[in-house]
Amino acid sequence: MNERSGKDFWFRGHDTRFRPEDMNPTHWTKAIEQLIELRRKGIGLTNSTRYLEDYRTYLKVGRSDWKCKAGLLSLDILPDGRVTVCKEKPALCNIMDHHFLDYIRSNEFRRAAYKISEACEGCFYGEYREPYYALHEFSVFQEWVRDWLETSVMACDLKSGENSA
């Protein structure tokens, strides 16, 4: 149970509700293989091939070995301005505070973020995993660039089509 929201989250690496226990492993393996194939073809998936491969491994072995880097590569800013390193963790500061930039750049903040991420058992929130993957694995970065280029070309095509009509 999340203290801040009072809701259960199902994206924890240890949470068995995130595992399709009632589904035959052959079926979920095939489903993930098909998603990976679609991803490699560049067909509309936002999760990287690496993310999908990690989820497949999780389903096989029942644990997530990915170490959280929340707060080191990303932050969550809540509607009221509170800043947290993870949507499941308490806020560390507020963007409305006039000392916000000093704090967010401080060793104190880095130590707090590191402590929180080190204590995390892992999750499947893409917004935390994907930036880490993109910075540490060139293949994921390539997927991001390819997606951006394809999206940009489609946007330009749509815009030029509007101008010619």
Answer yes or no: is pLDDT of 26 > 50.
yes
- The whole-number pLDDT of residue 1 equals 47
**CA gap 2, 46 in Å, rounded:** 26
Computed over every residue of the chain, the mean pLDDT equals 82
Q: Greater confidence, 43 or 36? A: 36
Strand ranges (E), the chain: 76-77, 82-84, 93-94
Q: CA 151 → CA 46, 135, 144, 147, 159, distances in Å? A: 12, 21, 10, 6, 12
- The whole-number pLDDT of residue 164 equals 58
For 110-161, how does the pLDDT look when each residue is reduced to its tens digit (9 = 90+)?
Answer: 999 999 888 887 788 888 888 888 888 999 999 888 888 887 776 677 667 6
Predicted confidence band of residue 77 (pLDDT cuts 50, 70, 90): very high
**CA gap 157, 144 in Å, rounded:** 20
Dihedral sign (CA 11, 17, 23, 26): positive
Kindly compute the dihedral angle of the four CA atoms of residues 157, 161, 163, 165, in this order, to the nearest 10 degrees: 180
Q: Greater confidence, 98 or 24? A: 98
